[in-house]
Amino acid sequence: MLLLRDSQNMPEKLTFKLIARDEQHSNFDWMNIDCGDIRVGKVRGLISGKKLTIHSINIFPEFEGHGYAKETIEMFKAHFDAITADRVRYTAIGFWEKMGFDADNNGNYVWGQGGPGVE
């Protein structure tokens, strides 16, 4: 279990707790997003070295609008060289574009090194 903390420019102090897929017998790595003692969201993804594929990021409805998703993505950018947002919903395209991600023409949005066609 890995606990990541990032207090840089946080709207409130967030903590990120990674639960690796092998620790929970899952096909995915999960990350809890907490603000103090309160869980405000979860991320489901796959980590491969310095590359992250995000399959879902969910900030619980009662905590939306506080910048938690943005700060979570900024933390990911600080820790990974390449990030793919897998099969982005139409309603979320604007968010990923604001975060600096580019469409790869397969329904995914990518950021960093190792973008479309780069190994």
pLDDT at residue 117 above 50?
no
| Tokens representing residue 98 in the block | 């604001």
User: For the chain, how many helices (H) and strands (E)?
Assistant: 3, 8
Question: What gap in Å lies between CA 14 and CA 35, rounded to an integer?
Answer: 5
The conformation of residue 111, written as its DSSP 8-state character, comes to E
| pLDDT per position as a tens digit, 8-63 | 444 458 999 999 998 988 999 999 999 999 999 999 999 999 999 999 999 999 99
CB 22 within 8 A of CB 28: no
Q: Domains in the chain: how many in total?
A: 1
Question: What gap in Å lies between CA 92 and CA 37, rounded to an integer?
Answer: 28
Q: Is residue 119 part of a domain?
A: no
Domain of 52, in residue numbers? 2-112
Q: Is residue 70 part of a domain?
A: yes
CATH code of the domain containing 89: 3.40.630.30
Residue 59 β-bridge partners: 41
Q: Is residue 52 part of a domain?
A: yes
Q: Indicate whether this model's pTM tops 0.85.
A: no
Q: Is residue 15 part of a domain?
A: yes
Query: Of 12-21, 85-94, 106-115, which has the strongest mean pLDDT?
Result: 85-94
The residues near 112 (Cβ < 8 Å, ≥ 6 apart) are: 77, 80, 81, 82, 83
